[in-house]
Structure 1
Amino acid sequence: MAIIRSLIQDMRSRSQRVVVEEDAAAAVVVGDGLRQSCWANMPQELLREVLLRIEASEEKWPARKSVVACAGVCRSWREITKDIVKKPEFSSKLTFPISVKQPGPRENLLQCFISRNRTTQTYYLYLNLTSALCDDGKFLLAARKCRRPTCTDYIISLHADDMSRGSNAYVGKLRSNFLGTKFTIYDGQPPHAGAKITKSRSTRLVNLKQVSPKVPTGNYPIAHISYELNVLGSRGPRRMHCVMDSIPTSAIEPGGVAPTQTEFSLNNVDMFPPFPFFRSKSSRAENSLSGPLADKKDGTLVLKNKSPRWHEQLQCWCLNFHGRVTVASVKNFQLVASAENGPAGPEHDKIILQFGKIGKDLFTMDYRYPISAFQAFAICLSSFDTKIACE
């Protein structure tokens, strides 16, 4: 056991040198050193057994940084660790940065929360580390609001402080129309083979720092969100529809599969990026795809907000958030799969995403398969935007 502890300590120190290194030339030197590490010469059978035990013992953050450290030792360690660590769909765990682009767990809601900074117009997504509504949290994503004359953009990044569209940390963005009633979610990478890029000024800016010659970073529309116009002026709950362009309707059925990204496009694919994904809140702030494609014959998944009921005693609209929401707000919602194109089944009763207020600038965000943390975060950001014609 002492040997394993010594091994993990050595791996952490080596991994940290890779994670915090910002100079490209120095990073390459460090990477070469890791590939030549003495740990790379361990017998594959013994190495796999050690990594299996580490993966099984480090179940939650911040302890799971040991698993990330193992993947940063060298190429062979990384490949075995990636093979051992299961996707969030099956493990309900977010381990590597790519986890935020992969569908959530099938059997339960993954609990997260969003912190809002009104002064800087920024939003931070954290993974709940405990059953409490808000804890120290594990940083996942950040977004910055950018107002424009005809629309509003929310730039989403893997880095808490670097939210530029030309950065390797750029994940995607959310764009609204002038009224704040229609939104489009753009992915920085193609969500599936054959995805078409949307040409825009922001796309050209991103391509100035293209992260891979094989897969250009740009704007790939993956979802459209619309809020129903409130022409009567009634003070009822918001009504929203989310058309998930990259997810087929069959994904919510038993055995259904949603497209899953497995790697980011990076300048150096042999190393993990210098993203603060590996830090907790207390310490801050070639693309590969798997899964079936959304066939044109198989319609795209449509999510709609679950209809609340009117509570006579409280004199307000109510939804059951099972203790995850404590403050009444027009922003609160629960999304379920729409059954407009066919008979409703039990899969249409499952809550896929719920979002609600727990404090002045704190909100819970719980999601599940077939959407990812990135998609869920973008949908929730649309609720923050001012809606002139909806309320």
Structure 2
Amino acid sequence: MTTATTERDDTLAMLRDSLARYLDDNHGFEQRLYALRKADDAPPPFWRGLATELDLLGAALPESAGGLGGGMAAHLALMETLGGALAAEPYLSTMVIGAGLLQRNPGAQADALLGRVVAGEAVLAFAHGEPQSRHDRADVQTEFVRDADGSFRLSGRKAVVHAAPWASHLLVSAIGSAGLSLFVVPKNTPGLRLRAYPTRDGGRAADIVFDNVRLPADALLGEEGGALPKIEQALDEATLAVCAESVGVMRRLMRDTLDYVRQRKQFGVPIASFQVLQHRLADMHMALEQAAALTASVGEIIDDASSGERARAVSSAKVAAAKACKAVGQGAVQLHGGMGMTEELAVGHYVRRATLIEGQFGPPSWHLRRVAKLRAALVLAQA
């Protein structure tokens, strides 16, 4: 292990410890329940403190953008810790996806917005998925046209845009004569209609309609028609980040389940002494550790991998994480019994998040088909 790697790991460990302590103080389970009952469209109360108190929103960004240069390793470390507190949003939408797209499309507006994001002054949501797209990243029907003065008009609809109710700006994909492009759209832009709703795991999302929305020329991010490869990369990074989040979710489920079976007694002895339950817990632990190991190994290569290598590796990690979420989530509920799904017990909240992670950015069946297609294409190319 090199000195640089050791220093990076030490820095990430300090960031994780600081974040875990902060979340314990500012986003404990009772505080989460209060926020869920309040259910407004302001960002979660803990969010600003990640920038103002911890100064860690830029941990993954290069130093030239005001960050620490941690790259994907920093995203994964922070997402696992956030997952353990059910606090991954709006970090996922703002820093992993949003900031990643802004970095790869530099310009005056993108640079200024990225600075506001790192300072905790702006929240981003990625408006890409549509009612008909079904995880097809190129299936976009929202359209834009360029007017004679260089400005744009945007029309279409987006579905289940996570963190959109909390966002100050949307990053919107749209199709034009040159291909797929990206635009920065402030949420208060005239002609934008947003229908917000809670998600089953306690987050917020929205369906959005763009009715001939007028945008200035500098709203375009990057080159017109060149957005698809950057969107593919951003979504692959987000998928791997969700795998890391799932590790944090599952570790909390394992911890709570172990505590419960050691305390719960039948026939005068803790149920943790029953061999069949020990086997079940061992299976849950193995699924979790396999997903954690694969996620970490993909994180080591993703920054330097080709697009095909990145896609195959990320999809493989997502399949492992989804299967582990199912095994650990179902095991935790069954070992807790009916009380495992009550609102008053944390395990039910974590199981719901684990269940939604299984399908986020594509279910296992979609990722398995993706890996198969990529491998077939690789074999044909080598023939």
- After TM superposition, is the score higher than 0.5? no
| TM-score bucket (shorter structure) | under 0.3
Q: Specify which structure has the higher proportion of helix.
A: 2
TM-score using structure 1 length = 0.25
Q: Specify which structure has the higher proportion of strand.
A: 1
